[in-house]
Structure 1
Amino acid sequence: MRGSGFILLLFALVLVSSCAVAFDPLDPTGNITIKWDVISWTPDGYVAMVMLNNFQMYRHIMSPGWTLGWTWAKKEVIWSMVGAQTTDQGDCTKFKGNIPHCCKRTPTVVDLLPGVPYNQQIANCCKGGVVASYGQDPAAAVSAFQVSVGLSGTSNKTVKLPKNFTLLGPGPGYTCGPAKIVPSTVFWTPDKRRKTQALMTWKVTCTYSQILASKHPSCCVSFSSFYNDTIIPCQSCACGCENKNCIESDSNQITMPGINTPSKDNSPLLQCTHHMCPVRVHWHVKINYKEYWRAKIAISNFNYRMNYTQWTLVVQHPNLDNVTEVFSFEYKPLVPYPSINDTGMFYGMKYYNDLLMEAGTYGNVQSELLLKKDVNTFTFKQGWAFPRKVYFNGDECMLPPPDVYPHLPNSSPVSSRFGFHNFATVLFPLLLLTIW
């Protein structure tokens, strides 16, 4: 009995830990929901609208876009698709005349690229699989396609739901639950005078786990301040040092044609640094005023093969409940829990700095934020002015250890050192080059 009890306890712990892996405390309800709406029956199956809704507040799907897969429950085939396509037709030799679009039992579907002929498009399709985060742009946080399925059954009682859904976006990390039948979706006509509903609807929920996506972080954080000339760099090998294929910043290789061309497997080509991270976020405590203080944020890209489109930066800091102004970034407070307002999302201004270029001269974006002091909590002591958590594109970045930060000078009060911010303002651009 004791042995069986231990096994049950171990199983429970594994189950809890596996569920917790996909839980993001800063976005507790974030997920991608895949919804199938059967809109008509056909002689041997049905036509369905499939929608991918990204309900994650700050994690988007960037190029090369999403890939969706599943396993058919019976011997279904895909007769045709609009707004998407399968990557492999499979063996359709048993069909004569009208050949299906795909005969594989485990089809893999990708979005179409922009610019396809109009008769191959539907609403919210054809964006190359790129889907914005819900917090950044709710209208663009959806992707859709239409599929005509055959050999599947022609009623709610005979249709069997697909199984084993998988979602890549554009790499691993997502885990999808089983399809579940839900109340049929209601549709309104454009004039809002008539409503119809789907003949059958089912949903699949997919959640993201950074641990499943990669065994190492994909970004790191460094610190500096006006009151101390010590720079706290990213930790050595913060993103792992297994990747030896890196290029020195002064190498002639960076001027070679094709150096910025993405590889087929989407592998990075990094600038050689001690942290070996594709992205570094630098937080600089810049100026102290009587009632306000100012911080500067710089995001640097060290990947020669990657442009980050629609990037997002999430910061957790207790003073973000009093943000007065943000310069050159868009800002949106995130309130994952009632009465706790210590998290905010930054992202680029459209057509200005919403594209973080590949490693090199233009591979960084910067902004400043002005925060109003709370006299009951504000202090520069014990690293209070530095963030507790930082996420880039939805992945948590490695911060310096909790006790490592620019300390206040021991020999003089802070007020006597305020003049140092002028020096720090001049110094800051150099930090981007010197701290790697």
Structure 2
Amino acid sequence: MKRILQYFCITKVEEMNRVLVAWGIQIPNFAYDLSIPEGLNQLSDTNSSSFLLPLHVIEVAMAYFIEYSRCKEVSLIAVFQNLNSSALLDYYLHNLLGHIKLLMSWGLYCCSYLLMALNQSYDLFFIFIFNLSLLFTLLPFSFSQTVADAPSPAADTCNGIFLSYAYTSGTKLKPTDPKHQPYRFESVLTVLNNGDEKLKSWRAFVGFKNDEYLVSASNAVLADGTSLPANVGNGTVFAGYPMTDLKTAVETAGDLNQIQVQVKLLGTQFGVAAPSVPLPETIHLANDGFLCPKPSLRGKSEMQVCCTKDPQFKTNVTVEDEFLPRQSGDLTIMYDVTRTYDSNYWAQVTISNHNPLGRLDNWKLSFDWMRDEFIYTMKGAYPYVVDSSDCIFGPQGQHYRDLDFGNVLNCERRPTIIDLPLTKANDTTMGMIPKCCRNGTILPPTMDPSKSSSVFQMQVFKMPPDLNRSELSPPQNWKINGTLNPNYKCGPPVRVSPSQFPDPSGLPSNTTVVASWQVVCNITRPKNASPKCCVSFSAYFNESVVPCPTCACGCPRNSANTCRANATAVLVPPEALLVPFENRTAITRAWADLKHFTVPNPMPCGDNCGVSINWHLYSDFSRGWSARITIFNWDETAFPDWFAAVQLNKATPGFQKMYSFNGTALELNGVNNTIFMQGLPGLNYIVAETDAANPQKDPRVPGKQQTVISFTKKTTPSINIAAGDGFPSKVFFNGEECALPSMLPTNSGNRKGATTVISILIAVLVFMLVQQ
């Protein structure tokens, strides 16, 4: 009878054994080993990633303890003596609800065997009392303990990239506002690689929808280069930092520290009060080549999705590649480490423009040091602020006690770098770097490939614990902008294969750098951003000019009392375009009285643009037509090496020539609809606005460039110039897209004049007939 009972006991334990093995806990055959299985000891090993096990695994493991001791006829106290039980208790304290659930289930196990195992009644009674003592004495500590959670049970069925977003807590914040109440939120974003390939440079999209304001995020940065805190209410993409790649379970033996990342988010959301949970609209992997279905909910506070590889996606990356390939973009920044030492390294930064209409003037480059680095010296560029006080009064000053911080250029966590003037190009201390010192100007490659990039070098000092040659970490959150240029959004640095440069000695060989990272930036237009230039339309068949839109480049907040920001701009005579807007009031009113136009009171606000462009339809014949473009500079800054571009959707194939500019038809994205123009040699400079000859009497005079453009209708026979085909759909100046009027000139005025002439002729003819 005893053997039969022992057989059933062994069968039950072996069944639990198989379950635990299926969950990743390796347990030796207990029939040949009276010691505690090493797999269960993983539960109490705080240095092991297996310590982070889900509660259902812990419950089965506890049942295994009791069955194991009963079948082996050994004391449960002896079992506990072989375990690192203090560390195991730490696990219980990390999860209050899970602790209660675990203790209750374990207590039930003890009670169920209390009557059956009389020879172990003392041991079981000890366990029962032990659990009660934990419940009433140790639980309060769980409120101050935190630990990373193991993957959700749903992750076990995912053979791709598993993502989860779990809301953990939130509280009401001040001020009290029933219409827009702020609440603190804390949540955890988990990305787990359950696939068979390493996930390089992981990115995850979280579709926030409650006007969230993110304050901090661990183990990640915002992929668009925005520094925290930041508004993320329209959703945002997170990129891994410092762990950018997630290895596979195969190559790490399931080490969660290498295959999983947890991003702890802290921020403010608006309008979602308890018991509702402010979950995002969606979550998905943002890396190319993956398919993500609609996320599913796990309870009310967690969202999960499993993303798998897209079988239709084609890539030139092989599994064996150590680095990702270089990506294309409107503008790229290379961060190449050329020399490295224990405490510092030299980095070369190369800014390259690849967009045919992109440009930077007086560029400013900024980024975030993430590990207390500081800039000691530079060549080819300079910090916008030279200041070492943050180092002197910070940890850098404590570590580098013998360093002369009077020679340190910048210790800001987020420095801003500017280009040097042309006069410093051959300076032995600050210059002598190829492609440096261009006064912050980076031209498009279509204009001058030799001036489409800028280079500088800097010496960076590191801080503990990174004091060795191989510990290299690029700065994050890159941002670059210019004075009158497009807006760029930059991604995070991505490790790529080391760059190669021609040997400086002149030998026919290449020198490879130590390490390289690539930052890709693309031109974007923020939702509420104002343009920096505008366009007016006019034509030969209408005496009035359609001016730039009201507040095209923004309006001051205090303009409501002096002008109307939401009123449509009033038509003006051509001569009004030659004077500043503040001097047009009398001309505009007189023209409105003459033409019987309605003028609002107060009048519409001006366009407030530093650059305005007039497109005038000059002529229209059966075989061809012409236009005149005039560029006005109302700013105090001149524009050397300027360029402009117009998109004519139907008329570009008929472009013939420009008479005062260099003009070229461009094919962008496979469409031949853009005309690129720049000044002729010696005429590629638009001066700033200047005083008139008599400043006391006459208004200021803008800088101006003008040309006539001729077109043929041979290649575009069906074109209708007056109906709109002769007006551009987009206009660019120095890469910035300009605001266009909302209406076109009409030829009704011309028809009215013709009708009037005909009426007069008819009247004269009738009069003559009557006289006869």
Report TM bin, short chain. 0.7 to 0.9
Residue deviations 1:47-98, cap 9 Å, x none? 1211111223223222xx1222222232323232111222233333323244
After TM superposition, the structure 1 = structure 2 runs for residues 97-108 of structure 1, keeping only pairs within 5 Å, are 97-99=403-405, 100-108=408-416
After TM superposition, the structure 1 = structure 2 runs for residues 46-61 of structure 1, keeping only pairs within 5 Å, are 46-61=345-360
Find out whether 1:228 has 2:568 as its counterpart: no
After TM superposition, the structure 1 = structure 2 runs for residues 280-295 of structure 1, keeping only pairs within 5 Å, are 280-295=612-627
Query: 1:127: how far off?
Result: 2.1
| AA aligned opposite 1:120 | M
**3-state SS of 2:492 partner:** coil
1:26 aligns to what?
Answer: none
Question: 1:81–1:147: 8 Å Cα contact kept in structure 2?
Answer: yes
Aligned counterparts of 1:8 and 1:56: Cα–Cα separation in 2: 30
2:214 aligns to what?
Answer: none
RMSD after superposition? 3.5
1:324 aligns to what?
Answer: 656
Question: 2:337–2:346: 8 Å Cα contact kept in structure 1?
Answer: yes
After TM superposition, the structure 1 = structure 2 runs for residues 22-41 of structure 1, keeping only pairs within 5 Å, are 31-41=330-340
Aligned counterparts of 1:46 and 1:353: Cα–Cα separation in 2: 41
* Inter-CA distance 88–170: structure 2 relative to 1 (3 Å threshold): farther
Greater Cα radius of gyration, structure 1 or 2: 2
1:142 aligns to what?
Answer: 453
* Inter-CA distance 90–377: structure 2 relative to 1 (3 Å threshold): farther
| AA aligned opposite 1:159 | L
Question: 2:618–2:627: 8 Å Cα contact kept in structure 1?
Answer: yes
Question: 1:41–1:154: 8 Å Cα contact kept in structure 2?
Answer: no
**3-state SS of 2:613 partner:** strand
Residue deviations 1:181-204, cap 9 Å, x none? 111112224757212211211011
Find out whether 1:112 has 2:400 as its counterpart: no
Compare 392-401 and 142-151 and name the one that shifted more: 392-401
Q: How many residues align?
A: 372
Aligned counterparts of 2:689 and 2:353: Cα–Cα separation in 1: 26
Question: 1:68–1:110: 8 Å Cα contact kept in structure 2?
Answer: yes
| AA aligned opposite 2:478 | F
Aligned counterparts of 1:238 and 1:203: Cα–Cα separation in 2: 36
Find out whether 1:96 has 2:402 as its counterpart: yes
Aligned counterparts of 2:729 and 2:680: Cα–Cα separation in 1: 25
Question: 1:383–1:406: 8 Å Cα contact kept in structure 2?
Answer: no
| AA aligned opposite 1:150 | F
Residue deviations 1:164-214, cap 9 Å, x none? 2222324893332111111111222475721221121101122333437x7
* Inter-CA distance 277–158: structure 2 relative to 1 (3 Å threshold): closer
Residue deviations 1:347-371, cap 9 Å, x none? 2223214324325435211011111
1:201 aligns to what?
Answer: 516
| AA aligned opposite 1:346 | M
* Inter-CA distance 240–104: structure 2 relative to 1 (3 Å threshold): closer
**3-state SS of 2:653 partner:** helix
After TM superposition, the structure 1 = structure 2 runs for residues 354-373 of structure 1, keeping only pairs within 5 Å, are 354-358=685-689, 360-361=700-701, 363-373=703-713
Compare 316-325 and 148-157 and name the one that shifted more: 148-157
Residue deviations 1:131-164, cap 9 Å, x none? 2233322211211111122226477852122112
* Inter-CA distance 15–149: structure 2 relative to 1 (3 Å threshold): same
Question: 1:35–1:202: 8 Å Cα contact kept in structure 2?
Answer: yes
Query: 1:342: how far off?
Result: 0.7
Query: 1:323: how far off?
Result: 1.4
Question: 1:232–1:406: 8 Å Cα contact kept in structure 2?
Answer: no
**3-state SS of 1:383 partner:** helix
Aligned counterparts of 1:160 and 1:375: Cα–Cα separation in 2: 56
Aligned counterparts of 2:543 and 2:410: Cα–Cα separation in 1: 63
**Aligned residue among 653, 658, 667 for 1:335:** 667
**3-state SS of 1:115 partner:** helix
TM-score by length of 1: 0.74
**3-state SS of 2:386 partner:** coil
Aligned counterparts of 2:628 and 2:737: Cα–Cα separation in 1: 19
**Aligned residue among 640, 644, 650 for 1:309:** 640
1:254 aligns to what?
Answer: none
Gapped regions of structure 1 (runs ≥ 5): 18-28, 252-271, 414-436
Gapped regions of structure 2 (runs ≥ 5): 1-166, 168-205, 211-231, 238-327, 563-579, 586-603, 691-699, 755-772
Aligned counterparts of 1:13 and 1:377: Cα–Cα separation in 2: 47
* Inter-CA distance 358–74: structure 2 relative to 1 (3 Å threshold): same
Aligned counterparts of 2:447 and 2:734: Cα–Cα separation in 1: 11
Query: 1:216: how far off?
Result: 2.6
* Inter-CA distance 293–215: structure 2 relative to 1 (3 Å threshold): same
* Inter-CA distance 229–67: structure 2 relative to 1 (3 Å threshold): closer
* Inter-CA distance 356–30: structure 2 relative to 1 (3 Å threshold): farther
Find out whether 1:347 has 2:653 as its counterpart: no
Question: 1:156–1:200: 8 Å Cα contact kept in structure 2?
Answer: no
Aligned counterparts of 2:608 and 2:382: Cα–Cα separation in 1: 37
* Inter-CA distance 135–356: structure 2 relative to 1 (3 Å threshold): farther
1:175 aligns to what?
Answer: 489
* Inter-CA distance 156–236: structure 2 relative to 1 (3 Å threshold): same
> Where is the helix percentage greater, Structure 1 or Structure 2?
2
TM-score by length of 2: 0.44
Question: 1:382–1:407: 8 Å Cα contact kept in structure 2?
Answer: no
Residue deviations 1:306-358, cap 9 Å, x none? 322322212110211221111111223332222x2011222222321432432
Question: 1:59–1:312: 8 Å Cα contact kept in structure 2?
Answer: no
2:741 aligns to what?
Answer: 400
Query: 1:250: how far off?
Result: 9.5
Question: 2:632–2:702: 8 Å Cα contact kept in structure 1?
Answer: no
Structure possessing the higher relative contact order (Cα contacts under 8 Å, 6 or more residues apart)? 1
| AA aligned opposite 1:234 | C
| AA aligned opposite 1:354 | Y
Aligned counterparts of 1:192 and 1:371: Cα–Cα separation in 2: 52
Compare 166-175 and 81-90 and name the one that shifted more: 166-175
Compare 49-58 and 189-198 and name the one that shifted more: 189-198
Find out whether 1:376 has 2:717 as its counterpart: yes
| AA aligned opposite 1:79 | Y
Aligned counterparts of 2:413 and 2:612: Cα–Cα separation in 1: 43
Question: 2:363–2:419: 8 Å Cα contact kept in structure 1?
Answer: yes
**3-state SS of 1:406 partner:** coil
2:376 aligns to what?
Answer: 79
Query: 1:297: how far off?
Result: 0.5
Question: 2:208–2:236: 8 Å Cα contact kept in structure 1?
Answer: no
| AA aligned opposite 2:349 | V
* Inter-CA distance 378–34: structure 2 relative to 1 (3 Å threshold): same
2:552 aligns to what?
Answer: 238
Aligned counterparts of 1:384 and 1:354: Cα–Cα separation in 2: 30
Find out whether 1:14 has 2:313 as its counterpart: no
| AA aligned opposite 1:368 | V
| AA aligned opposite 1:221 | V
Question: 1:347–1:354: 8 Å Cα contact kept in structure 2?
Answer: no
| AA aligned opposite 1:146 | Q
Identity %: 27
Question: 2:343–2:469: 8 Å Cα contact kept in structure 1?
Answer: no
**Aligned residue among 341, 357, 361 for 1:42:** 341
